[in-house]
Amino acid sequence: MKVAVLCEFSGIVRDAFIRRGHDAISCDILPTEKPGPHIQGDLFDYDWTGYDLIVAHPPCTYLTVTGNKWFKPEFRNRFPDRGRQRNDAIEFFMKIIKIPCNKMAVENPVGIMSTVYRKPDQIIQPYFFGDAAQKTTCLWLRNLPPLFHCKDDDLFYKKTHVDKGEFIITKSGKKLAKWYYDCAKEKNRASLRSATFPGIAEAMAEQW
């Protein structure tokens, strides 16, 4: 297939498709972190006609529920543009949805798009696919089946019998996945948190 992976600079999903012989390319405003077919630029400046599959990862900073706290009145002076930034993010998400392509998957964390657009077709976790981590991920699908949970040569397994990774309890009493918490110490924490886990990328490339 001819596959476009939009809003990806890690190359993780792109390379999973390439390993299976597909003609895959990634596109992002940032350069690719791994050598491979990549377009650096605004995805809407390019014509995606003729692609068999689009997998998109719209920026989630202003869409995710974890950012809702910044909309509270006490933070209004600190983040006066938050409302406009969220509206811009919603518009960006919906422009991707409207790209004419027969098969499409759009990925985002749990957030406002479940209300503004529609509920996702599937909600998955990295530990469903062999990565010892928790990261609730929503998938909006067009002419694609939900991903079945696989591990070790596609053997089915139960979600309750997998390693979900380590967790920590913050001073406020909030429980967070350790990998997510550790990213806060890094300058590129947003990029690290947004990257697709390898197991999910492999499942996409194998099943779609």
- In sequence order, the 6+-apart residues with CB closer than 8 A to the CB of 93 are 58, 63, 106, 108, 113, 117
pLDDT at res. 146 = 93
Say what the pTM is: 0.80
d(CA 14, CA 35): 11
**What integer is the mean pLDDT of 128-138?**
86
**What integer is the mean pLDDT of 138-146?**
96
3-state SS assignment for residue 93: helix
Which CATH number among 3.90.1170, 3.30.1380, 3.40.50, 2.60.120 corresponds to the domain 2-207? Answer: 3.40.50
Return the closest-CA partner of residue 9 out of 39, 31, 41, 24. Answer: 31
Sign for the CA dihedral angle at 127, 187, 65, 167 comes to: positive
Instruction: Give per-residue pLDDT as tens, 152-193.
Output: 444 444 444 466 766 667 666 666 566 555 655 555 545 545
CB 139 within 8 A of CB 147: yes
